[in-house]
Amino acid sequence: MYPEIFSIGSLTIQGYGLMIFIGVIVAYLFMAAHFKSKGFTSETVSELFLWCFFTVFIGGKLFYWLEDPGKYLGKPALLLEDPGNGFVFYGSFLATIPVLIWWFRKKQLPVWEMFDLVGIAGAFVHAFGKLGCFMAGCCHGKVCNASVGIVFTNPNSHADPLNTPLYPTQLWDAGILFTAIGLMFFLKPRKWFQGQLFLLYGMFYAVGRFITEKYRGDEERGFVFNGLLSHSQAIALAVFAVCAVVAVYRFKTERIRR
């Protein structure tokens, strides 16, 4: 709705970037509070966020390129075109996991316990990022005639077509994520095993994304299985399955230890 919030000279504050910034600040404050209680300094949290930023960027971009590799193989210069746009969440999600495992072990931190904290912090960034998508008009829905439709009119919006009701898939995803955050906070003092919150985040968003993906209007990202599923739906199924299997395993092993 508001791709550009305001401008000061040559500096333009983008709606998407502002929402991501807010999400990062909230996530940072959340993680800093928990790290401080364990005797770690703010520099440690900053180091963690730098690693996350690097892998989120690389993973998100890599998966975006892989959605249409022929396009970039034919014209490699496109790889460096508009580096601030064109990301796939699941690319960032999957690329970050092994790096976090390495970093937690390096710092001698309990991996699964830390992943629960990262699940909440990451969901904050993700949720505010979806609000940013809404402001920028990207990740928009299909044309609809229902009363739930949102009309994007700003010529700088990524929504297509403009001046036409579209499903507000960005807001649906944001709602799913904020609900997941609420559930994680509720279960945090009640969880059965370490890692439960992170795995819940993975499964909860996978289900929501699988549903909302049916209403997405950016179909250029491609499909698999002869058009049966979008790329994101296929990845969502895989993520849900893996998280579910790991959750069952963790639940059983934690019960045995008790």
Going by C-alpha positions, the residue among 53, 126, 55 that lies closest to residue 89 is: 126
Which tops the pLDDT comparison, 85 or 223? 223
Alpha-helix runs per DSSP H in the chain? 15-37, 42-66, 69-74, 89-106, 111-136, 169-187, 196-212, 231-257
pLDDT at 107: 87
What are the CB-based long-range contacts (under 8 Å, 24+) for 198-201? Answer: 198/112, 198/115, 198/116, 198/118, 198/119, 199/119, 199/243, 199/244, 199/246, 199/247, 199/250, 200/119, 200/247, 201/119, 201/120, 201/122, 201/123
Lowest mean pLDDT, pick from 171-185, 190-204, 223-237? 223-237
pLDDT at 242: 95
Lowest mean pLDDT, pick from 114-118, 119-123, 223-227? 223-227
Model confidence at 221, pLDDT cuts 50, 70, 90, reads: low
Give the dihedral sign, CA 173/25/136/96: negative
DSSP code of residue 224 = E
Distance of CA 246 to the CA centre of its chain: 20
pLDDT at 73: 59
Average pLDDT score over the chain: 84
Which tops the pLDDT comparison, 227 or 50? 50
Confidence (pTM): 0.85
If you write DSSP's letter for every residue of 194-208 in order, what string do you get?
TTHHHHHHHHHHHHH
pLDDT at 63: 66
Going by C-alpha positions, the residue among 182, 176, 175 that lies closest to residue 206 is: 176
**Amino acid identity for residue 117 in this structure:** L
Q: Which two tokens stand for residue 134?
A: 């809404």
Write the pLDDT tens digit of every residue in 183-199. 999 999 999 999 999 99
pLDDT for residue 6 is more than 60:
yes
pLDDT for residue 210 is more than 90:
yes
**Amino acid identity for residue 16 in this structure:** Y
Lowest mean pLDDT, pick from 19-28, 160-169, 214-223? 214-223
Rounded Cα gap, residues 15 and 136, in angstroms: 6
Write the pLDDT tens digit of every residue in 80-113. 555 555 567 777 878 888 999 999 999 888 999 9
pLDDT at 91: 77
